[in-house]
Amino acid sequence: MLDILEIINKKRENKELTKEEIKYAINNYVNKEIPDYQMSSLLMAICINGMSDEEIFNLTDIMINSGEKLDLSMINPTVDKHSTGGVGDKTTLILGPIVASCGINVCKMSGRGLGHTGGTIDKLESIPGFNVNLTKEDFIKQIKEIKLAITSQTGNLVPADKKVYALRDVTGTVESIPLIASSIMSKKIASDASKIVIDLKVGEGALIKTKEDAKKLAELMIKIGNHNNKEVVCVLTDMNEPLGFSIGNALEVREALDFLDGNMAPDLKEVIYKLASLMVSLGLNIKEENALNLVKEKIENKEALNKFKEFIKYQGGDLDKLTVSDRVFSIKSPYTGFVKEIDALKIGELAKNIGAGRQTKEDIIDYSVGFVLSKKVGDYVLQDEELVKVYLNKKDLSIADITNCFKIENELGELNPIIYEVIK
Ligand code: URA
């Protein structure tokens, strides 16, 4: 007879848990037989002592089997993409249409914002009429017809992760490599894409702060994927400064449209080209450089832009009705010099505070607010030249709060690359 206290004690003593013990803990937590305080204690022991590969494979498997699974075997090839979360990260909105216009089925289940990071579903909901709740049948029908569908995670897909993640969020147990890896991979495997590209964000604005930890997480996710017959590639990308120019839901949709129309922030371009060419190369089984040429062609001939418009319309969205606030303020630089740093974490927090994200689960997002950067890291700025535009609506913001997110220096310092590494 298994007992939760013995399981907690065993993990506290850094002993390996059996599959039955992990299953007992997870399933009984989902069924409400185990209370939050005992589950938190077990999660903290895992955070501190880690897990063996065997334990992680078992945990992932148990989470996958806690709910419904998608079967996409009738659609081929399918490639999925996941981001570990960042600020100004509108890559899914841009990648989906590019990759679909290259002839690959993009079946994407996305999430809402978490903490200071934004979520694709919130961004898409800023488009009036857009339906983020597709049924399984509609999801598959849409992919068959236009090769691209993005829907929110169904309630039944990996319910164990939903419950455990909510608890981790409030018990200081998010930052655990085994828990992050099994949480992400269980959802990717249950949603059944055969090839998966993971954009693993590293830096102050990300969950993972160092390249060493990012490498460990990448290797673990690849192992879990291979164990489940999925090909996984992780790209470690910078998340110290916000990605691209805009932060905020409708503003990011507008930037996605601009990008596909050829107006690209350099850092966003670098990330998109890398992720898109990897996805296309995996999906079509072609060399990455050939995939990159195809990606460029689909952007240049506007097929990707048209795919974006087609997909939005198909899911009921009306891009003509996309609105951003007209209460706009131009924030000027207090100094002349080079922009050395733009703090993604601080900007993400500020965006949340002015209404672009949620403070509590019940909050209603203000899609019209956010920031558009006029300068990026490495740019030269004159005193009183515009640094950033602030779009406010119901809430206010002090000028010091936003200018404090920028570090401007007289001389040009060492700048970090955007793409750190690709691990296969
Ligand atoms: N994203 C997830 O889905 N799970 C985690 O644990 C962290 C990031």
**DSSP tag of 19:** H
Is 82 in the active site? yes
Beta strands in 96-164 (DSSP E): 105-110, 148-152
Measured by CA distance, the residue closest to atom 5 of ligand 1 is 180
Does this model's pTM top 0.85? My answer is yes
124 lines ligand 1 (CB under 6 A): no
* Within-domain flag for 281: yes
Same domain, 194 and 179: yes
**Closest ligand 1 atom to 165 CA:** 6
> Could you give the CA distance from residue 43 to residue 147 in angstroms, rounded to a whole number?
39
208 lines ligand 1 (CB under 6 A): no
Same domain, 257 and 121: yes
Same domain, 315 and 179: yes
Residue 158 neighbours by CB distance under 10 Å: 26
* Within-domain flag for 205: yes
| pLDDT of 419 higher than 70 | no
In percent, the amount of the chain with pLDDT more than 90 equals 79
Same domain, 101 and 220: yes
> Could you give the CA distance from residue 69 to residue 31 in angstroms, rounded to a whole number?
19
Confidence of residue 347 (pLDDT cuts 50, 70, 90): very high
156 vs 97, residue with greater confidence:
97
The average pLDDT across 147-157 equals 85
In the block, tokens 């209370």 appear at 35
> Could you give the CA distance from residue 305 to residue 310 in angstroms, rounded to a whole number?
9
Domain boundary pick from 320, 342, 361: 320
Measured by CA distance, the residue closest to atom 2 of ligand 1 is 184
**DSSP tag of 50:** -
Q: Residue 418 has what pLDDT?
A: 53
84 lines ligand 1 (CB under 6 A): yes
Same domain, 308 and 208: yes
Is 183 in the active site? yes
* Within-domain flag for 88: yes
Q: Residue 421 has what pLDDT?
A: 64
Confidence of residue 361 (pLDDT cuts 50, 70, 90): low
Same domain, 152 and 238: yes
DSSP code string of 44-102: HHHHHH---HHHHHHHHHHHHTTSB----TTS-SEEEEEE---SS--HHHHHHHHHHHT
Domains in the chain, number: 3
Q: Is-contact 309 100, C-beta < 8 A?
A: no
The average pLDDT across 317-345 equals 94
- Structural domain of residue 20, as residue ranges? 4-50
> Could you give the CA distance from residue 418 to residue 76 in angstroms, rounded to a whole number?
32
3-class DSSP state of 21 = helix
345 vs 414, residue with greater confidence:
345
In the block, tokens 């000028």 appear at 399
Q: Which two tokens stand for residue 391?
A: 């779009």
State the CATH number of the domain containing residue 339.
3.90.1170.30
184 lines ligand 1 (CB under 6 A): yes
Report how far ligand 1's centroid is from the alpha carbon of 180 (Å). Answer: 5
| pLDDT of 155 higher than 80 | no
183 lines ligand 1 (CB under 6 A): yes
Q: Residue 40 has what pLDDT?
A: 96
Q: Which of 153, 180, 199 for a ligand 1 pocket mutation test, highest count of atoms within 8 Å of Cβ? A: 180
> Could you give the CA distance from residue 249 to residue 124 in angstroms, rounded to a whole number?
8
Confidence of residue 359 (pLDDT cuts 50, 70, 90): confident
Tell which residue, 318, 85, 74, has the closest CA to residue 199. 85
Same domain, 122 and 206: yes
Q: Is-contact 100 293, C-beta < 8 A?
A: no
Angle, in degrees to the nearest 10, between helices 53-64 and 211-227? 60
Give the pLDDT confidence of 95-133 residue by residue, as tens digits: 999 999 999 999 898 887 767 777 899 999 999 999 999
| CA distance readout (Å), 316 to 128, 137, 203 | 8, 16, 36
Q: Residue 413 has what pLDDT?
A: 52
| pLDDT of 289 higher than 80 | yes
As a dihedral over the C-alpha atoms of residue 136, residue 137, residue 143, residue 145, rounded to 10 degrees, the angle is: -160
| pLDDT of 291 higher than 90 | yes
Active-site entry in 108, 162, 187, 201 = 187
* Within-domain flag for 60: no
Same domain, 276 and 366: no
- CA-based Rg of the chain, rounded to a whole angstrom? 22
Burial class from Cβ neighbours inside 10 Å (0-12, 13-18, 19+) for residue 262 reads: exposed
> Could you give the CA distance from residue 269 to residue 275 in angstroms, rounded to a whole number?
10
* Within-domain flag for 123: yes
| pLDDT of 149 higher than 90 | yes
Q: Is-contact 91 207, C-beta < 8 A?
A: no
Active-site entry in 81, 90, 123, 168 = 168
Give the pLDDT confidence of 229-244 residue by residue, as tens digits: 999 999 999 999 999 9
| Mean per-residue pLDDT of the chain | 93
Tell which residue, 233, 266, 242, has the closest CA to residue 372. 242
Report how far ligand 1's centroid is from the alpha carbon of 171 (Å). Answer: 14
